[in-house]
Structure 1
């Protein structure tokens, strides 16, 4: 059994509005960011982890975490460049 994570309501109270979704297969490494607005306050992040299917490798399951940088533009210091 997976440990229970915080609820989306708890996350929103901290001011966090997005989530990071990582493929459950550590060898794949695929990840995506999503807005957390689609889930209600009483849903736990751990409740939705088994609903995801990786679009890169096809594996079911994910690691869902808070995106503390949601809405922050990428920094050029992080290897991004502006076009």
Structure 2
């Protein structure tokens, strides 16, 4: 998936999770300044944990930012948490 694909779905940030079992830190990184053609997995090689310094991180789109999915009537498919 590219940043362009991700942005088309209303997502502008990446969720980054530290894979160090003694740390497990996570954060959301805004990637607005990067070009559309950049692949999401490529950020895993570029980032390290800001808490423990580990380079083993999992990177994925922050789907919590995505636009709600609607059915054919324009109603939300999943109820909101509000």
Say whether the fold is shared (TM-score over 0.5): yes
**Structure-1 residue corresponding to 2:2:** 7
How many pairs are equivalent?
Answer: 67
Structure 1: which 5+ residue stretches go unaligned?
A: 1-5, 72-76, 78-83
Unaligned runs of 5+ in 2: 67-80
1:53 deviates by 1.5
**Pairing 1:49–2:44 present:** yes
Q: CA RMSD in A?
A: 2.0
**Structure with larger Rg:** 2
1:64 to 50, 56, 59: 59
Give the TM-score, by structure 1 length: 0.68
TM-score, structure 2 as length reference: 0.68
1:29 aligns with 2:27: no
